[in-house]
A and B are shown apart, each in its own frame.
Chain A
Amino acid sequence: MKLAELAEKLELKGVTRMFDREIGGVYSSDMVSDVIANAKAGDLLVTLQIHSNVIAAANLVDIAGIIVTQGKLPTDDVVKMAEKAEIPILSTDLSRWQIFTKLYEAGVR
């Protein structure tokens, strides 16, 4: 599924501009080390973290996009970094549990 299509279905707010990315799976973590060790290329990263190191890790493992939960928003410098790396960031006010449920219902497994 395309990330843009998913964003529309789940009413996710775009924090960066959208890039044409295909989602292969979902990974959730707030730890950079865990993302580097275990996330797969094409995964959608669901996280609470908005630190620049998350973008560094996401870029290293070729994450398709990031959903930041619970209404958190990254700072402008993190947004710029993500856009430069062409990693879309989306935001939701929902909790991780709620967004996982919606992702599953939308067919993302």
Chain B
Amino acid sequence: MTTQVARSRYQMVNVRPGHVIMEHDMLSRAVRSYFSDEPIPPVEEYREGKHIWHYAGMAQSFQFDVKDNQTGETVACREILGLLYYGCCKEDSVIRRIGELAHENRISVYIAITYEGADGRETVLAPEKLRVLNAMFNERLRTPSKKILILPDLFDLYKTMSYGEIMIDFGLTSMEEER
């Protein structure tokens, strides 16, 4: 364990457990989400201008920053809602097809899904943050020739997919049928 930490330039730090809170506006039918690290997540409805936001669900999740042990700089990754694994996407989806191609070269594709901004639009993840994320997760690997590739959401996935598909703890709180 000590050897692994000493070798790594990038390190996950400031890990904060919390919840992804999902809410919707009855008037505009808009849906959005945000991260809360409060011990008791907020579930009350509230007004914001013309909008009245209603609680629509929550999922356990976490946030983290990435520290560069060489420069001492810490990159905050607060925009990230979760990572979507290509293998969790529908078989005929673009992501799945890209992921299958990459898999043939031992590359595992994940898409970094970000939270919506206050205006409901997707928050764009800066290229430098993507670079650091990719570096960090690839440094952790030990299987020879295996690679992780984290891509930005170039496919408007944040609009179309369910939260259960993203790698947060959403799906894991559901009961599974015994076989």
Contacts and interface: CB of A to CB of B under 8 A. Distances in A.
* Binding between chains A and B: yes
Interface of A: 24-25, 30-34, 36-38, 40-42, 49-57, 59-62, 71-73, 81, 84-85
Nearest to B64: A37
A37 B176 contact: no
Contacts of A32: 167-169, 172
Interface stretch (B48-56, B67-75, B139-147): B139-147
Interface of B: 1, 4, 12, 15, 17, 60-62, 64, 83, 85, 87-88, 103, 108, 110, 137, 140-143, 146, 148, 167-169, 171-172, 174, 176, 178-179
B142 A41 contact: yes
A59 B110 CA distance: 10
Nearest to A38: B15
A38 B17 CA distance: 12
Contact of B4 (A41, A54, A84): A41
B85 A50 contact: no
What are the nearest 10 A-B pairs in CB distance?
Answer: A56-B85, A33-B62, A41-B142, A62-B141, A37-B15, A51-B171, A81-B87, A73-B179, A31-B169, A56-B167
A52 B174 CA distance: 13
Helix, strand, loop or mixed for chain B's interface?
Answer: mixed
Contact of B83 (A24, A51, A60): A60
Nearest to A81: B87
B155 to A, nearest CB: 17
Nearest to A73: B179
Contacts of A50: 176
A59 B4 CA distance: 18
A84 B140 contact: no
A31 B83 CA distance: 14
A53 to B, nearest CB: 5
A56 B146 CA distance: 14
B87 A51 contact: no
Nearest to A57: B167
B178 A60 contact: no
Contacts of A36: 62, 83, 167
23 contacts: A31-B60, A31-B172, A33-B168, A40-B1, A41-B4, A42-B142, A51-B174, A51-B176, A52-B88, A52-B171, A53-B85, A53-B88, A53-B167, A53-B169, A53-B171, A56-B87, A56-B110, A56-B167, A59-B85, A60-B148, A81-B87, A84-B87, A85-B87
